[in-house]
Amino acid sequence: MSNSQPVYHIVSRSIVPNCPTQRVTQACNLAWFITGVIVSAQCQLTGIARHVLWDGYCESAIQRLRRVLTNLRLTVRTLYGPTVAY
């Protein structure tokens, strides 16, 4: 596990206010996913899971990341603009 919490705070400040979902937890999970991609410099879920600060086993973190990717309420077009503008 790396020190990814400062990166998470920067990413979450950009994403959470602009997230179209009604649940803050979904936006926070997306922020952790993006943080894992940035810190790990990988796109494989096993590599990303090692860098997110979730308690539990690596397999449960991978499953949580899969659910973030398959969440239909998180649309690319709505999130793309604010994320890239940052």
Cβ neighbours for 37, distance < 8 A, ≥ 6 positions apart: 43, 48
pTM flag (> 0.85):
no
Q: Which residues of 45-56 are buried (b: 16+ CB within 10 A; e: fewer)?
A: beebbbbbeeee
Q: What is the pLDDT of residues 15-42, one digit of tens each?
A: 777 776 667 888 888 888 888 888 888 8
Q: Which pLDDT belongs to residue 79?
A: 67
The Cα 66–Cα 40 span in angstroms is 17
Average pLDDT score, the chain: 80
- DSSP character for 50? T
The answer to whether the beta carbons of residues 51 and 71 sit under 8 Å apart is no
